[in-house]
Structure 1
């Protein structure tokens, strides 16, 4: 079984990934793939460089470029686990890539929704070099995400978790959702 996690930046996707990892399931981060590719190309990890590499990869390999780069990592992880989590799926092209690459696997999409102001505050406190520092940068990044097609992935989600309250409430929702998925799909198939 492959779990695709989606949501706007700062929505809380990593908590879902962490819950699966806590239960022993491996993950692949789409964002890490872009950051790794940025470093491979000899560029400093800045939001501008990461964005440029993300666009360049899509120009070179198609709209599903990051998913294509993730497929081999996922294939390797599936050899040792019946569940693999993919963090940061951003387009229906990427979803289609995973469906085509793994036709025998059940694929489940989990989306997280968090109001923009809350996401902005989280991103400011997260400390990644490529995170927005101003509200204008934040809005610009959101528009780029939406242009990539993340809204379509969110709309197609099998599970939607709203993260708009206290952290402990969200963590409880995440635990319950992960438990529901794992018990509804024994053996990961």
Structure 2
């Protein structure tokens, strides 16, 4: 099995990459779904603050690879899959036990990513630039920089959505 582990900062374009992968029939798994399901089972209301606190707590209690270990229980065999949201090198290590891993970083500047969050208007997105930068810093504390440093491939996403979709299609075509 080939595994594309997708990483990148908030609003870099991971969602667009996953959308293109799904259009091509590639199974997509999101690490955050494991966290949200777990929080729901424990009766914890999902918010930015509660999710960050919960993520830190379970990683401290069960290890930095806990979310990956839970996710692999849900993964079905396929020639190629996409996993989004790895936060630590330990999680990447879990996926390497499953198959051939390619870590792909979606890159976009802080300013471009911030503008995208304003445009998409998600309730959980930061409300101002300072809060946006603080969230990046919080992600770094959870090990995001370690995962970004492991990227085998970097896809720049500074242009239009259609330009990026084309870039993703070209990249995915190298796996068929």
Q: Same fold (TM over 0.5)?
A: yes
Work out whether 1:98 is the aligned partner of 2:92.
no
Tell me the alpha carbon deviations over residues 159-184 of structure 1, each in whole angstroms, 9 at most, x when there is no partner: 2100112222211111111112x13x
Taking a change above 3 Å as real, the CA distance of residues 40 and 137 of structure 1, as seen in their structure-2 partners, is farther
Aligned partner of 1:110 among 95, 104, 127? 104
Distance apart, 1:28 and its partner CA:
1.0
Residues of 1 paired with 2:58 and 2:46: CA distance?
Answer: 16
Contact 1:45 1:129 in 2 (8 A): no
Residues of 1 paired with 2:159 and 2:122: CA distance?
Answer: 23
Residues of 2 paired with 1:123 and 1:36: CA distance?
Answer: 24
Distance apart, 1:82 and its partner CA:
1.6
Distance apart, 1:52 and its partner CA:
1.2
Taking a change above 3 Å as real, the CA distance of residues 129 and 46 of structure 1, as seen in their structure-2 partners, is farther
Tell me the alpha carbon deviations over residues 141-172 of structure 1, each in whole angstroms, 9 at most, x when there is no partner: 10111122222222222221001122222111
Work out whether 1:31 is the aligned partner of 2:28.
no
Partner SS state of residue 73, structure 1? coil
Distance apart, 1:130 and its partner CA:
2.7
Distance apart, 1:55 and its partner CA:
0.9
TM-score with structure 1 length normalisation?
Answer: 0.86
Partner SS state of residue 90, structure 1? coil
Work out whether 1:62 is the aligned partner of 2:63.
yes
Q: Which residue of 2 aligns with 1:172?
A: 166
Taking a change above 3 Å as real, the CA distance of residues 4 and 20 of structure 1, as seen in their structure-2 partners, is same
Residues of 2 paired with 1:66 and 1:124: CA distance?
Answer: 29
Contact 2:56 2:142 in 1 (8 A): no
Q: Which residue of 1 aligns with 2:10?
A: 9
Distance apart, 1:116 and its partner CA:
0.7
Q: How does 1:10-159 map to 2 (within 5 A)?
A: 10-74=11-75, 77-78=76-77, 81-100=78-97, 102=98, 105-159=99-153
Residues of 2 paired with 1:167 and 1:63: CA distance?
Answer: 33
Deviates more, 1:119-128 or 1:38-47: 119-128
More helix as a share of residues: 1
Partner SS state of residue 131, structure 1? coil
Tell me the alpha carbon deviations over residues 9-42 of structure 1, each in whole angstroms, 9 at most, x when there is no partner: 1100111111211111111101222222222221
Distance apart, 1:113 and its partner CA:
0.5
Alignment: residue pair count: 175
